[in-house]
Amino acid sequence: MNLKKIYRIASLLLIWAVLIGGLGAGTAISGENENKTTQPYVLGEVVVTADQPADKATTMFEVTGEEIEMQNAQTLDQALKLIPGLDVRTGNAGIPRVNIRGFRSRHTILLLNGVPMNSTYDGQFDPRIIPTANIARIKVSFGTHSVLYGQGGMAGVINIITRQGTQGLHVDVSAQVDERGSKLGKASVSGGKDNVDCFVSMVKKESKGFLMSDDFEPTTLEDGNLRENTDAEQRSLFGNITFELGEDSLLGLTVENSSGEFGIPPTVADDKKSDFYKKAKYERVNDFNTFSSQVSYSFDPDSVFGFRTWVFVNEYDEDRGRYDDNSYSKMKKKGSYEGTNESAVQGFTLQPHLDFGGKGILTASLSAEKDEYRSWGEKVLKKNEKATPYSSDNDLDLYSTALEYKIRVLDRLDLVAGYGHHWQNRTQGQDDDKGSYMLGASIEIMDGTTLMASYARKIRFPSIRQLYDTESGNSDLTVEQSDNYEIGVIQDICDDLELSVSVYQSDVKDYIEKLVSTDLYENNDKYRFKGVDLLLTRSIPGNGTLSAGYSYLDSEDRSVGAQRDVLQNRPKHMVKLAASFSFDFGLTAHADFIRVMEQYYYSDDFDKGKLEDYSILNFRFEQKVLKDNLSLFLGVDNLLDENYEEGYGLPQAGRTAYAGVRVTY
């Protein structure tokens, strides 16, 4: 029996355990959460920060499950949109990309309870297939993050920590529909009894596509109203179960499965005389399926030595096609194809630690993973000729080791230092290895004022696509490298009002890009990203929160012979505002606003264009009808019906209203 079948059987056993074990009342693992229906999964952290020194030496933002619900964020990309320094944009692939401080999404490590979610093919990820119904909180760390995360995070790390059950039995069901008839349904069951906690959720959504702004001017490729080829369907199942094996030991199992299909909208730009004109591509993912699972164990006694370990598997399969026209069926033109792509990653991590009390904490990490990618199908090589079969099968082995030391000195000064070394074993070409390291410090110079500074050298190995793509791959590629610097201050201005300011710079060399002249990937680019992230938050006890964020980014191409003064699709200014309030009569109101300014793009001949600046305003109201058990909600996304693009020729959704109901028990 292979590993995949074992995990699928384990998922069925998990759901059975939830349905049986969650029906009775008892003592949950965490007594602190007795009044909550769920809590964060206690084994979901890669880097444990609670009650440890040097927590403030590097920038980290957190989004809670409550904030996600306030925003009505249904997918990961929507949940991250208000974080300073993050640019969530949809480009030619039709997939939202989460870009951090100028880097691309492939330079960000995405983890679900510590399980790598990046594609083994190109290192990127689709945040839409991660529903927020399972999320307790999201931690976003930037470029000077801990070495314990391993290689790949030149931009940062996004770690999703899922929900876990608490004492008793709890049910949460909601349904939502928008003005186009797109539907979303969510249901979860959680509970705890004796030494077991469990959580299961199901999500189903059906979207006919998004509405375009009334200000959109039709072209020959798009007539407006409902955006071409933006329909989507998805079904997701998630569950975890946690066992307290003793006072010092925890064992957890997590399982996730999603399936569905979606369209990729073509460009609307039809001016063939434009320097930026590209032929429209008609693509669909006709079917996709994901499966991931993790077994985790933690031993943390009240003594010097402890350890954590986990093994994992993550798989993604899709049937994808590119067609001649918007019938999405014909394959006669050169470049059209239908094929199947399979990617898989499996591995383990071991993290022993020594807690010396006042003399600091020493943590080591050993990890190994195998990345696999297979692709096969038929592709048209010449117009009107029969499609030709193709196939590829590649894999990589990755190994990492790291050591990190944290200490608090004189109750006000926190220090952290770490070193990691990483190896990539290739099926073709020469194996590669490289080290990474970081230093950080924070000091509370007076009550309410904390200064921080950090430096890190981060690396990323080339992906399977960059190494072995049949048309553009280059097996001689080496690692990308970034030197990241950051200084900042956290200032308590007055009661419940806090200001956080970070100034950063990243110097990147051996950046991998595809050369226009050779159509091959090369390590030939040097980039510099520098900027400022600011966040002002005000907590109103018992009533709500206010936040104001601003991000400035200066991107520079420092490569030899560079023909661009700024890098494309990287906004220079972003303003993000949010407000949430709760009233005594059961009404909760939320509004958020995003302004994006100065974003440029280039043609193949380096002609420069500028996207229009845009503003997005959203709001949501929720009213409790029957105490805490029944509530009704409604909202509007893009209230101003802004007609805007996040990439050339790629307009986004206009004003969309929705309403729904939620029942909890």
Judge residue 394's burial from the number of C-beta atoms within 10 Å of its C-beta, 0-12 exposed, 13-18 middle, 19 or more buried: buried
Banded model confidence at residue 625, pLDDT cuts 50, 70, 90: very high
Which helix (H) or strand (E) segment holds residue 441: the answer is: strand 432-446
Mean pLDDT of all residues in 502-508:
98
Residue 628 has a pLDDT of 80
What integer pLDDT is reported at residue 12 of this predicted model?
A: 44
Q: Is the dihedral of CA 308, 152, 80, 174 positive or negative?
A: negative
Q: Identify the CA nearest to 113 among candidates 59, 45, 169.
A: 45
pLDDT in tens, 250-296: 999 999 999 999 999 999 999 999 999 999 999 999 999 999 999 99
C-alpha–C-alpha distance, residues 199 and 239, integer Å: 5
Give every CB contact of residue 379 below 8 A, 6+ residues apart in sequence. 335, 336, 337, 339, 387, 388, 390
- Let me know the angle formed at the C-alpha of 270 by 265 and 273, rounded to the nearest 5 degrees: 145
* Tokens (6 digits) for 523: 């390590």
pLDDT at residue 28, rounded to an integer: 34
Give dist(CA 576, CA 551) in Å, integer: 9
The answer, yes or no, to whether residue 590 has pLDDT greater than 90, is yes
The whole-angstrom separation of Cα 406 and Cα 355 is 10
Q: How far apart are CA 562 and CA 525, in angstroms?
A: 9
- Per the DSSP assignment, residues forming a β-bridge with 586 are none
Q: What is the pLDDT of residues 364-376, one digit of tens each?
A: 999 999 999 999 9
pLDDT above 50 (res 27): no
Mean pLDDT of 489-496: 91
Q: Which residue has the higher pLDDT, 43 or 319?
A: 319
The answer to whether residue 21 scores a pLDDT higher than 50 is no
Please say if the pLDDT value at position 126 is more than 50: yes
Instruction: For residue 51, name the pLDDT band (cuts at 50, 70, 90).
Output: low
pLDDT at 557: 92
At residue 10, the pLDDT reads: 47
Q: Is 215 helix (H, G, I), strand (E, B) or coil?
A: coil
Which residue type, as a one-letter code, is found at position 105? S
Q: Give the Cα separation of 574 and 598 in Å (integer).
A: 9
Q: Could you read off the pLDDT of 518-532 as tens digits, one per residue?
A: 889 999 889 999 999
Give the helix/strand (H/E) hosting 6: helix 3-21
Between CA 625 and CA 103 the distance in angstroms is 45
- The per-residue pLDDT for range 456-492, each reduced to its tens digit, is 999 999 999 999 998 899 999 999 999 999 999 999 9
pLDDT band (50, 70, 90) for residue 48: low
pLDDT-derived band at 47, boundaries 50, 70, 90? confident
Q: Which two tokens stand for residue 654?
A: 């206009």
**What pLDDT shows up at residue 26?**
33
CA distances from 30 to 25, 27, 144 (A): 14, 8, 32
Residue 467, phi then psi, degrees to nearest 5: -85, -40
Neighbours of 305 (CB within 10 A): 11
Over the chain, what is the mean pLDDT? 91
The 10s digit of each residue's pLDDT in 321-340 is 999 999 999 999 999 999 99
C-alpha distance from residue 274 to each of 426, 570, 647 (Å):
42, 22, 15
Residue 576 has pLDDT above 80, yes or no: yes
Average pLDDT over every residue of 182-192: 95
Q: How far apart are CA 530 and CA 102, in angstroms?
A: 8
Confidence tier at 23 by pLDDT (50, 70, 90): very low
Distance, in Å, from the CA atom of 310 to the CA atom of 378, rounded to the nearest integer, reads: 39
pLDDT at 212 over 90: yes
pLDDT at 16 over 60: no
With vertex at residue 143, the alpha carbon angle to CA 140 and CA 146, rounded to the nearest 5 degrees, is 75
CA distance readout (Å), 516 to 47, 76, 471, 513, 603: 40, 33, 13, 9, 11
- How far is the C-alpha of 456 from the C-alpha of 143, rounded, in Å? 7
Q: Which residue has the higher pLDDT, 563 or 18?
A: 563
Neighbouring-strand partners of residue 261:
233
What is the CA 414 to chain-centroid distance, rounded?
A: 29
Spatial distance between the Cα atoms of 236 and 392, rounded to a whole number of angstroms: 29
Q: What is the pLDDT of residue 19?
A: 40
Of 602, 585, 487, 499, which Cα lies nearest the Cα of 548?
499
Look at the block and give the residue holding tokens 């001649």.
Answer: 324
Picking from 492, 523, 528, 494, the residue whose alpha carbon sits closest to that of residue 510 is 523
High-pLDDT (> 90) share of the chain, %: 82
Model confidence at 49, pLDDT cuts 50, 70, 90, reads low
Range 47-66 average pLDDT? 78
Distances (CA, A) of 378 to 35, 262, 294: 56, 20, 35
Residue 565 burial (10 A CB sphere; 0-12, 13-18, 19+): exposed
What is the four-CA torsion angle of 513, 518, 520, 525, rounded to 10 degrees?
A: -20
**Look-up: residue for tokens 């080829």?**
229
The confidence score (pLDDT) of residue 50 equals 52
What length does the chain have? Answer: 665
Is the alpha carbon torsion for 4, 6, 7, 13 positive or negative?
positive
Mean pLDDT along residues 103-124: 94
Is residue 20 scored above 60 in pLDDT? no
Instruction: Note the pLDDT tens digit of each residue in 348-401.
Output: 999 999 999 889 999 999 999 999 999 999 999 999 999 999 999 999 999 999
CA distance 338 to 332: 12
Given a cut of 60, whether residue 552 has pLDDT beyond it is yes
Quote the pLDDT of residue 42.
84
Instruction: Work out the average pLDDT over 238-260.
Output: 94
Q: What domains appear along the chain, each with residue ranges and CATH number? A: 3-664 (2.40.170.20)
DSSP for 361-372, written as a single string: EEEEEEEEEEEE
- Note the pLDDT tens digit of each residue in 408-459: 998 899 999 999 999 999 988 899 999 999 999 999 999 999 999 999 999 9
